[in-house]
Amino acid sequence: GDSVTQMEGPVTLSEEAFLTINCTYTATGYPSLFWYVQYPGEGLQLLLKATKADDKGSNKGFEATYRKETTSFHLEKGSVQVSDSAVYFCALRGDSNYQLIWGAGTKLIIKP
Amino acid sequence: DADVTQTPRNRITKTGKRIMLECSQTKGHDRMYWYRQDPGLGLRLIYYSFDVKDINKGEISDGYSVSRQAQAKFSLSLESAIPNQTALYFCATSDLTSGGHEQFFGPGTRLTVL
What pLDDT score does B88 carry? 95
Over chain A, what is the mean pLDDT? Answer: 93
Q: How confident is the model at residue A28 (pLDDT cuts 50, 70, 90)?
A: confident
- The 10s digit of each residue's pLDDT in B15-33 is 999 999 999 999 999 999 9
* Nearest-Cα residue of chain A relative to residue B6: A43
Q: What is the pLDDT of residue A59?
A: 97
The CA distance from B41 to the nearest CA of chain A, in Å, is 5
Whether B42 sits inside 8 A of A105 (CB atoms) is yes
Is residue A88 classed exposed, middle or buried when 0-12, 13-18 and 19+ CB atoms within 10 A define those classes? Answer: buried
pLDDT at position B33: 95
Contact check, Cβ <8 Å, A99/B48: yes
What pLDDT, on the 0 to 100 scale, is given for residue B2? 65
B75 pLDDT exceeds 60? yes
For the cut 70, the answer to whether the pLDDT of residue A111 exceeds it is: yes
Report how far residue A16's alpha carbon sits from residue A111's, in angstroms, rounded to the nearest whole number.
10
Residue B98: per-residue pLDDT: 62
Contact A102 B43 (CB under 8 A): yes
How many CB atoms are located within 10 Å of the residue A40 CB?
Answer: 7
Q: What is the mean pLDDT of chain B?
A: 92
Find the CB nearest B41 among A42, A44, A104: A104
Read off the amino acid at residue A41: G
Give the closest residue to A79 by CA, choosing from A20, A31, A19, A28: A19
For residues A50-77, average pLDDT: 96
List C-alpha distances in Å: A40 to A86, B87, B89, B107. Answer: 6, 15, 15, 10
pLDDT at A15 exceeding the cut of 80: yes
CB contacts of B104 in chain A (<8 Å) are 45
B28 burial type by CB count under 10 A (0-12 exposed, 13-18 middle, 19+ buried): exposed
CB A44 to CB B40 under 8 A?
A: no
The letter for the amino acid at B56 is N
In this prediction, residue B42 carries a pLDDT of 83
Whether A12 shows a pLDDT value over 90: the answer reads yes
